[in-house]
Chains A and B, each alone.
Chain A
């Protein structure tokens, strides 16, 4: 597929995710940091985010399944996930992480578990969306090489 078509497809995909609220305008800022010197900046950043988020969610799963929940750790992990999600334009993901932070600061186990379920669901959506972006970014990059 011609590079112009791929770029158009990518732009349409991003707009679609933004229209759905999965990504916000900050994702455009992220794309703006990609240039000739860092042609895979978006791919590398998304890959780093997804790997880090996976690890954080695994830690949260472990912490929340403990008989005695370490709420300060849950708050820390949820806050970290919130910050990194915001940094890739995932404001909806960040919002559900903020709700988990609130539940953890209230030491409310039930609420934490409920909010964490939402975090997991939202992450799956974001992960799928970002993965599609990475696929197109990689196709564009490979087309140039």
Chain B
């Protein structure tokens, strides 16, 4: 079985992920938009990543409190109740060590600084696309 490699051929009717990994990768997507959650989860799942998607930071915290763990948490930078930096800060305070990525269609410099200062690790642009998330997943899988 090819590890961390792309298999662009999906047999009709098959549920074989487009990529396979050494490790069981798990992702959490935190996004206020139900459309973005559906598409983001479908994309990550199709690439073999076990993915949860929640609407806001509080729902993410609840999952963590219940014992869920993730290799990567992708956080919408602009949510109604809290922004990406606030969410990241709280996750780090809770002891979460996952890779934290801020996601947005566009960024202000101060938002990026705040997110990184809050414990975030980097950024990924919306809408999600394999060209953006596969390199990150490969890095996580190799660590």
Contacts and interface: CB of A to CB of B under 8 A. Distances in A.
A88 B42 contact: no
B35 A84 contact: yes
A125 interface: no
A52 B39 contact: no
The CB with the most chain A CB atoms within 10 A, among B12, B42, B106, B129, is that of: B42
A87 B10 contact: no
B15 interface: yes
Contacts of B12: 35-36
Interface size classification for chain A: 20 to 34
Contacts of A88: 35, 39
Interface in A102-139: none
Interface of A: 26, 29-30, 33, 35-38, 41, 44-45, 48-49, 52, 76, 79-80, 82-84, 86-88, 94, 98
Interface of B: 10, 12-15, 31-36, 38-39, 42-43, 46, 76, 78, 80, 104-106, 126-129
